[in-house]
Structure 1
Amino acid sequence: MGVLNILKFAMKCIKLKILLHVSTAYVCGEGKGLVLEKEFYPGETLKETSSKLDFEVEKKLVAEKLQKLRVQGVSEEDIATNMRDLGIERAKVFGWPNTYVFTKAMGEMCVGQYRDNLATAIIRPTMITGTYNEPFPGWIEGLRTIDSVVVGHGKGKITCFLANPSCIMDIIPADMVINAMTVAMVAHANLTSSINNIFHVGFSLRNPITFSMVHQFSYQHFTKNPLIKHGKPIKISKCTILANMPTFRIYVLIRFLLPLKILQVLSIAFPWYFRDLFVNSKRKFNLVMRLVELYRPYVLFKGIFDDINSERLREKVRKSCNMEVDLFNFDPKCIDWEDYLINSHFPGVKKFVIK
Structure 2
Amino acid sequence: MEMESIIEYLENKTILVTGATGFLAKIFVEKILRIQPNINKLFLLIRASDSNLAMHRLHTECVCRYDVALAINTLGVEHLSCFVNECPNMKLLLHVSTAFVSGEKSGIIFEIPFKMGETLNDKNHLDIREEKRVTQERHRQLIVEKANEEAMSSAMTDLGIQRAKLHGWPNVYVFTKAMGEMLLLKRLRQDVSLVILRPTIIASTYKEPFPGWIEGVKTMDSFIAAYGKGMTSCFLAHPNKVLDIIPADMVINVMIIAMGAHINKPVSMTIYHVGSSMSNPLKISTFKNCVIEYFAKHPLKSQQGNPIITSKTIRLLSSMSSFNRYMVIRYVIPLKVFKYLNILLGRAFNAWYLDAERKINIIFRLASLYKPYVLINTIYDDANLNKLHDISEMETFFFDVKSLNWEDFFMNIHIPGLVKYALRK
Do these two structures clear the TM 0.5 threshold for a shared fold by scoring above it? Answer: yes
Distance change in 2, residues 1:253/1:298 (3 Å): same
- Give the unaligned 5+ runs of structure 2: 1-74
Cα deviation code 1:271-319 (max 9, x no counterpart): 9xx99998997687556434322311211122100000000012221xx
Distance change in 2, residues 1:240/1:268 (3 Å): farther
Name the SS of the counterpart of 2:196 in structure 1.
strand
122-131 or 214-223: bigger deviation: 214-223
Distance change in 2, residues 1:275/1:156 (3 Å): farther
Other-structure match for 1:81: 154
Residue 228 of structure 2 contacts residue 300 of structure 2 at CA under 8 Å; is this kept in 1? yes
Amino acid in structure 2 at the alignment position of 1:307: D
257-266 or 176-185: bigger deviation: 257-266
Amino acid in structure 1 at the alignment position of 2:400: D
Name the SS of the counterpart of 1:38 in structure 2.
coil
158-167 or 337-346: bigger deviation: 158-167
Percent identity among equivalent residues?
45
Q: In structure 2, what is the Cα distance between the partners aligned to 1:19 and 1:249?
A: 43
Other-structure match for 2:215: 141
Residue 123 of structure 2 contacts residue 167 of structure 2 at CA under 8 Å; is this kept in 1? yes
Residue 36 of structure 1 contacts residue 305 of structure 1 at CA under 8 Å; is this kept in 2? yes
- The Cα of 1:78 is off from its aligned counterpart by 1.1
- The Cα of 1:170 is off from its aligned counterpart by 0.3
Residue 290 of structure 2 contacts residue 411 of structure 2 at CA under 8 Å; is this kept in 1? yes
68-77 or 298-307: bigger deviation: 68-77
Residue 119 of structure 1 contacts residue 190 of structure 1 at CA under 8 Å; is this kept in 2? no
Q: In structure 2, what is the Cα distance between the partners aligned to 1:112 and 1:64?
A: 27
- Give the unaligned 5+ runs of structure 1: 318-323
Distance change in 2, residues 1:85/1:281 (3 Å): closer
Residue 18 of structure 1 contacts residue 190 of structure 1 at CA under 8 Å; is this kept in 2? no
Other-structure match for 2:289: 216
Cα deviation code 1:172-207 (max 9, x no counterpart): 1100000011111110115455x6200000000110
- The Cα of 1:53 is off from its aligned counterpart by 1.0
- The Cα of 1:58 is off from its aligned counterpart by 1.3
The counterpart of 2:403, out of the listed 334, 339, 343, is 334
Name the SS of the counterpart of 2:214 in structure 1.
coil
Other-structure match for 1:179: 253
Q: Once superposed, which parts of structure 1, at least 4 consecutive aligned residues long, lie more than 6 Å away?
A: 267-271, 274-284
Amino acid in structure 2 at the alignment position of 1:80: S
Other-structure match for 1:315: 390
Amino acid in structure 1 at the alignment position of 2:108: L
Other-structure match for 2:176: 103
Amino acid in structure 1 at the alignment position of 2:123: T
Other-structure match for 2:325: 250
Cα deviation code 1:1-35 (max 9, x no counterpart): 11111111112222222000110001011011110
Amino acid in structure 1 at the alignment position of 2:395: D
Does residue 296 of structure 1 match 2:365?
no
- The Cα of 1:255 is off from its aligned counterpart by 3.3
Cα deviation code 1:93-129 (max 9, x no counterpart): 1100001000110111011111222111000000001
Does residue 34 of structure 1 match 2:103?
no
Amino acid in structure 1 at the alignment position of 2:183: C
Amino acid in structure 1 at the alignment position of 2:181: E
Does residue 349 of structure 1 match 2:418?
yes
- The Cα of 1:48 is off from its aligned counterpart by 2.2
- The Cα of 1:267 is off from its aligned counterpart by 6.2
Name the SS of the counterpart of 1:236 in structure 2.
coil
Other-structure match for 2:135: 62
Other-structure match for 2:225: 151
Higher relative contact order (CA 8 A, sep 6+): 1
Q: In structure 1, what is the Cα distance between the partners aligned to 2:408 and 2:400?
A: 16
| Aligned-residue CA RMSD (Å) | 2.4
Name the SS of the counterpart of 1:21 in structure 2.
strand
The counterpart of 1:226, out of the listed 285, 299, 313, is 299
Distance change in 2, residues 1:269/1:65 (3 Å): closer
